[in-house]
Amino acid sequence: MRASVFMAGDDFAGLRRRIAEIEGRPLGVEAPPSPAVPPQGPERPEAPRLAPRRAEKLLPFGVEGLDCLLGGGLRRNALHEVRAETTRAGSAATGFAAAILARLTVGDDRPLLWVMEEAAVREGGHPHGPGLDRFGLDPGRLIVVVTRRPEETLWVFEEGLRCAGLAGVLGEIRGHPRVLDLTASRRLALRARDGGVMGILLRQAAAAEPGAAATRWLVEPRPAGTLDDFAAGIGRPAWRLHLERNRAGATGRFDLEWDHDARSFALAPLATPALSRPGAALPADRPDLARTAGTVVAYRRTG
Amino acid sequence: MLGHSPSLEGRTATQNVRETPPLVVVAKARSALRLVALDETARRRGLHRGQALADARAIIPAIDAVDADPTSDAALLAAIADWAERYTPLVALDGQDGLMLDITGCAHLFGGEAELVADLAARLPAQGFAARAAIADTPGAAWAAARYAETSRVASGGARDLLVPLPFAALRLDDDIVAALDRVGLKRIGQILDAPRAPLAARFGASLMRRLDQALGREEEAIDPRRPVAALIAERRFAEPIGLEDDIAATIASLAATLARNLEQRGEGARRFELSLFRVDGVVTRLGVGTSRPVRAPKHVLGLFAEKFASLADELDAGFGFDMARLSVPVTAPDTPAQVDLAGDAVGEADLGQLIDRIGARIGPERVRRIVPRDSHIPERSEAWTDIDAAAHALSPGRHWGGLPPPSAHSRASGNPGSGHHYPSESGSPLARGRADGRSATNSDGEVSCVRALDPPLFPAFMDADPIDRPLRLFARPEPVEATAAVPDGPPMHFRWRRALYRIARSEGPERIAPEWWRNDEDETRDYFRVEDATGHRFWLFREGLYGRETIAPRWYLHGVFG
């Protein structure tokens, strides 16, 4: 009897470990998250490591509250869903997803796969090399696959998740194609878990649907932050993120800014100074052009 | 060797019953409808090629005439040529009704030349073609034997004996040369074989002697194969036709294993594989897969073809089965074995190559792309989408994005006058613009090159990080919007895009991009603005045309969206 009690104590830890493993949670993180978990510090760009894939399983945001909620960061071997309600918000969702990809490439020299449908390219535009470059994501690391149908997109996505030569896969789907059901989502999640490649399912113009992703984010646009105290300008990209689903803990809402130079996230300041202030004042030595040149005219499309 | 189908109506000829009227094919030549091909019945009843249809009708009123269709004939001949590749990879088209096969080194696979030609002579009629075939040392002799002699095989060195009794037409000469020879009483090739050459050449032209030499093997003559010869070929013939996908897969695997050994000996890998499946009824299906790097592993090859089959789905019709399969390697590349480090990096690269190949085989290699920079300031021309190979080439060090120095280099603002690219005012604030105008009198109309270059100390903080001045996503065609803006060059205040109205809260610009004058097209100057509406949607708009100089009604377009 005594012996069995003794064993039970040992088993308890083992059981916990097993449960954490089954649930795909890092050990020691309970749901709801306990503040006792030390959040990993913001990742600094360091010298490239030899084998990044074995180094760590989490991709921290570098934002304390958010990392804490996620149990340290986004899991690398998992599927994450990023969605935008409308087509026009799709650019914001693309931005957030691209920012995660950019974080993935820090200290990891493997390429990224971006697979998208023709319809998504038509509606939302194609990835623009110079823009990606400014954003902090090296376009040379990207392999872009444009497919005809969502079935093909899912197939390429799944193949990509199996490939150890990739740092991450971004799959972009528009609307609610029938092929992207719970089964397909579960398949992708399992592939990501087994392959160890992070999968980001970017869904444009999509309502919340049940899925097997480890996290699901709703991205809404938010006025950009400032850059170098130039309030009138459009500075760092910012988004309003709703963490709608989180297997590792509670959900929440965050306003994040993206520092494209340092490739890091930061909490956006609550009030945007640019909005509370009008544009720069007119210089005294220059006449107001708009007034002297005539009234404001609306140009219609001709032909 | 030469296979010759003398009558295009061969298919119908064998089906004709004796009682049916003669069938002829007619085409317009020398201002009359003339017979270009005729079936056995017509031939027996005295009709001949080149005869006018009216004359033929006078002899036999009940004649069945159909119009010639050279396009279909050519397609049929090409299909027969495909089929003939089962004998040799070197198959050339010969005129409109013949094929020339170079069977050097191939005959033993069929048990010898006689067996090969017997096989050919048995299979073609089985498909409904009337054909004659002959093997000889030279293309010229084979041509003559197939068309003008009864023999199907000319012994080695027997070309001279063959040619002696044949008419001059057997030498592939022009009609007028044959007619000229005929006029002086020369009917048979034997009459000139031992005659002095110089007078003959002087009188009838050099082509007579050249054709004679070619037929006798005194002059080299190469045939012109339809398709390039693959570096390596492995093939298998089946006693019983196969049709199941599993059987085909097993065949591919074993052929690929054979090729892998050969490739390894050569120290090469394949960049492309081509599978030819020969169906029993003569149809040949070709499937090709490309690889992103040299490949040998049979498993990988099989995987690529599996993807290809999956994408074909129902398009591949096995019919009554395939009786031969051939796997060829048209393109090879040196393959140096990769050193696998302890972290397994080389494995990852190989993995990636296989992934790209698989995707390419399934949905098309042109759909797997990389973005490479190009030297242009016009946004849509500043990048190119290339396949993986070209990208690896283009992404050599020294080339970087946007034609500009890398981000956070301070020299960015110095405009390059030759490129037509200016940063008129980075901030777009009237203050900045005013200062610039005040400083440089020559640039009175707004084409100021750069505020930041002029006044670095004014905005010291600017030097830390560059703003994101290019959109994350670009529309292939700029989308027209209805915008309201101050004339002549104010930023937009609100605009309507896809039927929704956006009120602009902040804007930066203009960034003026002049058209590339050396391209000689009708582009106008563009003023780009980065704008943001109150809710945080960020867009890249431009106004096309300088107000008052290039146009009186500038148009607005939305070119991209920011993340």
Beta bridge partner(s), residue B64? B23
Q: Are B189 and B200 in contact (CB under 8 A)?
A: no
Q: Do A140 and B395 touch (CB under 8 A)?
A: yes
Cα separation of A93 and A200, whole Å? 11
What does the pLDDT look like over B375-413, one tens digit per residue? Answer: 888 998 899 888 876 555 444 444 556 444 343 333 333
Contact with chain B for residue A232, Cβ under 8 A: yes
Residue-wise pLDDT for B341-360, tens only, equals: 555 555 566 778 888 888 98
Tens of pLDDT, residues B103-117: 988 888 888 888 998
CA distance A254 to B431: 35
Number of alpha helices (DSSP H) and beta strands (DSSP E) in chain A: 10, 13
Most confident of A48-57, B125-134, B476-485: B476-485
The C-alpha of A137 sits at a distance from chain B's nearest C-alpha, in angstroms, of 10
**A112 touches A174 (CB < 8 A):** no
Mean pLDDT of A260-284: 65
- State both tokens at B364: 């098309």
More confident residue, B44 or A25: B44
B421-433 exposure pattern, b = at least 16 Cβ within 10 A, e = fewer: bbbbbbbbbbbbb
Q: For residues B33 and B52, is the Cβ–Cβ distance under 8 A? A: yes
Q: Which residue has the tokens 């009794």?
A: B165
Q: How far apart are CA B539 and CA B491, in angstroms?
A: 13
Q: Which amino acid is at B561?
A: V
Which residues, 6 or more positions from B371, have their beta carbon under 8 angstroms from its beta carbon?
A127, A129, A132, A139, A140, A142, A144, B383, B384, B385, B391
A206-223 pLDDT, tens per residue?
A: 998 888 999 999 999 999
A241 touches chain B (CB under 8 A): no
Cα separation, B365 vs B479, whole angstroms: 29
CATH superfamily of the A76-223 domain: P-loop containing nucleotide triphosphate hydrolases (3.40.50.300)
- pLDDT category at B541 given cuts 50, 70, 90 is very high
Q: Which residue has the higher pLDDT, B529 or A39?
A: B529
**B488 cis-preceded (ω within 30 degrees of 0):** yes
Task: Output the 3-class SS for B240-265.
Answer: EEECCHHHHHHHHHHHHHHHHHHHHH
Query: If you ran DSSP here, which 8-state letter would residue A280 be given?
Result: P
* Element holding B211 (H helix, E strand): helix B206-216
| A111 contact residues in B (CB cutoff 8 A) | 352
Instruction: Note the pLDDT of residue B432.
Output: 36
| Closest Cα in chain B to A157 | B359
Please identify, in words, the CATH class of the domain defined by B232-363.
alpha beta
In the stretch 90-149 of chain A, residues with CB closer than 8 A to chain B read 90-92, 94-96, 98-99, 110-111, 113, 121, 124-135, 139-140, 142-148
C-alpha–C-alpha distance, residues B232 and B560, integer Å: 49
Could you count the other beta carbons within 10 Å of the beta carbon of residue B200?
A: 17
Q: What is the pLDDT of residues B36-92, one digit of tens each?
A: 888 888 888 888 888 899 999 998 888 889 999 989 999 999 999 999 998 998 999
The β-bridge relationship of strands A112-117 and A142-147 is: parallel
Q: pLDDT, tens digit, for every residue of B146-160?
A: 988 888 888 888 888
Nearest alpha-carbon partner for A246 in A15, A104, A49, A73: A73
Sequence ranges of the domains in chain A: 76-223
pLDDT at A283: 53
With vertex at residue B388, the alpha carbon angle to CA A137 and CA A116, rounded to the nearest 5 degrees, is 60
CA distance B388 to A48: 24
Q: Residue A242: is its pLDDT beyond 90?
A: yes
- From chain B, the residues in CB contact with A159 under 8 A are 355, 358-359
Tell me how close the Cα of A2 comes to any Cα of chain B, in angstroms: 47
Which residue in A65, A125, A48 sits closest to A93, CA to CA? A125
Residue of chain A minimizing CA distance to B458:
A230
State the smallest CA–CA distance between residue A30 and chain B in angstroms.
Answer: 33
Q: Greater confidence, A231 or B76?
A: B76
Question: B386: distance to nearest CA of chain A, Å?
Answer: 10
Domain layout of chain B by residue ranges = 232-363, 370-403, 410-463, 473-561
**Percent of chain B at pLDDT exceeding 70:** 80
Q: What is the mean pLDDT of chain B?
A: 80
In Å, what is the CA distance from A273 to each residue of A226, A231, B132?
8, 7, 91
What pLDDT was estimated at residue A295?
39
- Between B228-232, B279-283, B290-294, B542-546, the lowest mean confidence (pLDDT) is in B290-294
Q: Are B431 and A279 a contacting pair at CB < 8 A?
A: no
Q: What is the token pair recorded at B361?
A: 């085989």
A55: confidence class by pLDDT, cuts 50, 70, 90 = very low
Rounded CA separation B293/B349 (Å): 10
For residues B126-149, average pLDDT: 89
pLDDT at A12 over 60: yes
Mean pLDDT of all residues in A103-117: 91
The mean pLDDT of A191-205, rounded to a whole number, is 92
Q: Is the model's pLDDT at B493 over the cut of 50?
A: yes
